[in-house]
Amino acid sequence: MQRNVRKLFISSLFCLAVSFLSGCEFKVQLGSQENKETTLEKIRKAAEQGDAEAQFNLGACYYEGTGVAQDDEEAVKWFLKAAEQGHVVAQKNMGVFYGNGTGVAQDAEKATQWYRKAAEQGDAEAQYVIGSRYLKGFGVAQDVEKAMEWFHKAAEQGYAPAQYDLGVYYGSGTGVAQDHEKAVEWYRKAAEQGYAPAQLNLGVCYGSGTGVAQDHEKAVEWCRKAAEQGFALSQQNLGLRYDQGGLGVEQDYKEAFQWFLKAAEQGLASSQHNVGVYYLKGFGVAEDKEKALQWFRKAAAQGHEDSINVLKQQEE
């Protein structure tokens, strides 16, 4: 069996950090520790008198079950009161609740309405969510042009996931004219904030010379930044560089194995397969057929065709 060597690739994931496809853009956001430092009675009194921050904090208490029995419906009641007064985080939380059906009947359109209220107040995270919903037509008529407008609003405020997504969209020509140089610009903005997917894609752009002058050393530098954050795709990518050599690093099977293993332990099927290959052939690690088969089985369970084929060959 030949040693597994794959080409370096640019991540094709539209890595929307929000999980709107599952109905919830982001976690419910709670206030500071002030609600725990102030007596519940004072919070309730202020909330009942119409204080929006107190209403928000009381909603947080019910959501968390802090000082009161946990009660999603009661949490929604108080978050709603705060949201109706323009409390931005409460508005986003109402979007989460309607998106999930937590404490209220699930309603994608109402979720969008609340996210929009927060977005129109300039909240970058909400702007990003609205862009995502327009892109997918989730709770609103699909409109790619409007999606890009909202992504730009969020990105221009420095919101890294939006900057990363714009990099992907400019790179692929989705909703905007394809422009690899602009893609690199947006990847760089997010990467410099430590956003791992953008660090990987910026590294790959340097490696392939797409939208920027080819520079394998910079490619490795950015890929390593993401890999050291635990980003599995970057760990796989860095492993491939050490596997092949001559791409900004000297060939080093031991180093390659360590990076493949890190990604494999996170469940990345291609790295699980590579770890299997390394154990089977003794590349960078002591040869161990049983361990090799264990990793091939993990990858095969995820539908990895190469591992499925290897297992069939081993059974023959």
Domain end, chosen from 63, 89, 121, is at: 121
Q: Which of 232, 256, 234 is nearest to 245 (CA)?
A: 256
Quick one: CA dihedral 121, 92, 226, 15, positive or negative? negative
Give the rounded distance of the alpha carbon of 4 from its chain centre: 28
**Residue 53, pLDDT score:** 92
- φ, ψ for residue 243 (rounded to 5)? -65, -45
Per-residue pLDDT reduced to its tens digit, 196-251:
999 999 999 999 999 999 999 999 999 999 999 999 999 999 999 999 998 899 99
Q: Give domain status of residue 228, yes or no.
A: no
**Residue 16, pLDDT score:** 26
As a whole number of angstroms, the longest Cα–Cα distance in the chain is: 77
Q: Give domain status of residue 110, yes or no.
A: yes
Domain count for the chain:
2
Looking at beta carbons, which pairs linking 183-192 to residues 24 or more positions away fall under 8 Å? 183/210, 183/211, 184/210, 184/211, 184/212, 186/155, 187/163, 189/155, 189/158, 189/160, 189/163, 190/160, 190/161, 190/163, 190/164, 191/222, 191/225
Domain end, chosen from 121, 148, 168, is at: 121
Q: Give domain status of residue 206, yes or no.
A: no
Q: Give domain status of residue 87, yes or no.
A: yes
pLDDT digits (tens), the chain, 316 positions: 344 333 323 222 322 222 222 233 445 555 555 545 558 889 999 999 999 999 999 999 999 898 899 999 999 999 999 999 999 999 999 999 999 999 999 999 999 999 999 999 999 999 999 999 999 999 999 999 999 999 999 999 999 999 999 999 999 999 999 999 999 999 999 999 999 999 999 999 999 999 999 999 999 999 999 999 999 999 999 999 999 998 899 999 999 999 999 999 999 999 999 999 999 999 999 999 999 999 999 999 999 999 999 999 887 7
**Residue 163, pLDDT score:** 97
The CATH number of the domain holding residue 91 is: 1.25.40.10
Domain end, chosen from 93, 121, 149, is at: 121
Structural domain including 300 reads 253-316
**Residue 31, pLDDT score:** 56
Contact predicate 44/74, CB 8 Å: no
Q: Give domain status of residue 31, yes or no.
A: yes
Q: Give domain status of residue 6, yes or no.
A: no
Contact predicate 252/222, CB 8 Å: no
Q: Give domain status of residue 315, yes or no.
A: yes
Q: Give domain status of residue 151, yes or no.
A: no
